[in-house]
Structure 1
Amino acid sequence: MSETLPPQPPPPPPYTAQATGPVGYPYAPAYAGYAPPPRRSGWMWACLFALIVGGMLLALVGVAAFAVKNATGGESDSSFGSDSIAVIDVTGVIVDADKIDKELEKYGADDNVKAIILHINSPGGGAAASQEIYHEVLRVRQEHKKKIIASVESVGASGAYYISSACDQIYANPASVVGSIGVIMEWTNYGELMKWAKLKNVTISKGDLKTAGDPSRDLTPAEQAYFQGLVDNMYGQFVHDVAIGRHTTEDKIKPLATGQVWTGEEALPLGLIDRQGGFRVALMDTAQSVGIKGEPNLVRPGKEKHGIFAALSGDSDDLFPNPSKLLDHSPGFFFLWK
């Protein structure tokens, strides 16, 4: 007996493309059940591009403004027309006098600034730079009739003490370090290194002392005496200027001019400072002495920030050192505590 099969559904129609494209383009089909994607307007793409470019420009302007603010310190150094006290920081090794000299003149000429405090934390530095700031302090005091006070934080030694001695008064903490009146002359002798590398220095000169201090060889006795004479002369200038600044005599300063340092507690009875106390003590005493009542208004120079913007906009020598500086091996003279 044969079995009968149930009726089967008809097969689906074959999958065919329908030409729904524009007239003249029969090969642009739209498959059954799908609509062609809408075409985007050119104006929309132009607006989107303009928004992206505008956003990038705004971001660049913001970054540039932030960089400029950081490079200049982002703070005002104006006295705002009120009686103020200016504070100038003397920190680190003193290698250049120009910046501090300009700040001294600026605040010295400002009638709203009644006094200047040099906030010092430095072991000294270059002999000429320290001496130049010393004379600028004296000039501002005399020409602008401006009171200048030195407030030593941790260290006010050698060239930094040289500068301090030009001020009306010197304040230092009991544990601060001051003094170190003396001179150093130094350079690096690499003669043995040249011998090891089998290099030979060739120099043609005229004058017995023209090549004195040549770092490729040792000093001759005549050169030793020559340089000692220079150091002695600078030492005498140091002692003389400190005596003038401290209103005393060279005979009283010389016993203290051994290159050694003293704590603030030791320095007071020696006459090297005027009072023990930190910056706050110096500030309030100074304010009272110039007739400022209550909390004085402080003005400070804008702090320099060394970011990428400052590097890119500054002196190219900061990015690409001048090769000629490699030849600078001259002996240096320092009022420096080491």
Structure 2
Amino acid sequence: VEGLMNKVGGKTTVVKSGQMKDAGSPFRGMSEEEKQLFQKIIDEHYEKFLKVVAARKENGPSLEEIRKLTDGRVYTAEQALELGLVDKVGYFQTALDEVLSRAGLKEARVVAYTYYPKRQNNLYATSLAGTEFMSEPVEKIVSGLKSGFYYLWLPAL
């Protein structure tokens, strides 16, 4: 965005309370300090992910094998299963059945508590503002979608 702003003569003015308050701003290049900050966060989460995957079963891939496999590429569920990155492929009901089995239960009632904060006025939240779509639980929205790639954006977070 910085290059486009320069090309069209646009300017931004940042008013902030701390040096890193606008870290990662698209309106300017990232400083070396910001790159290090974000890289440290990413590295910490990546290490946590590796440990969770490696610890989940005894006969799975080692930490080093997992590290080699998790280079940023995307795997399908079947590929991840074949590589030992996941134990099973399924959907919500599959997971629920597994929980019931492990708990020794025949049935359970799933209760979902949902909090709908006041929507912020922004480009994403206003496109469907006031429609019933915005107040539906994710499960109900997703069930009506055709297969494909989607992202979930949570403006309140």
Of structures 1 and 2, the one scoring higher in RCO (CA 8 A, sep 6+) is 1
More helix by share: 2
TM norm structure 2 = 0.49
TM norm structure 1 = 0.27
Q: Rg bigger for which structure?
A: 1
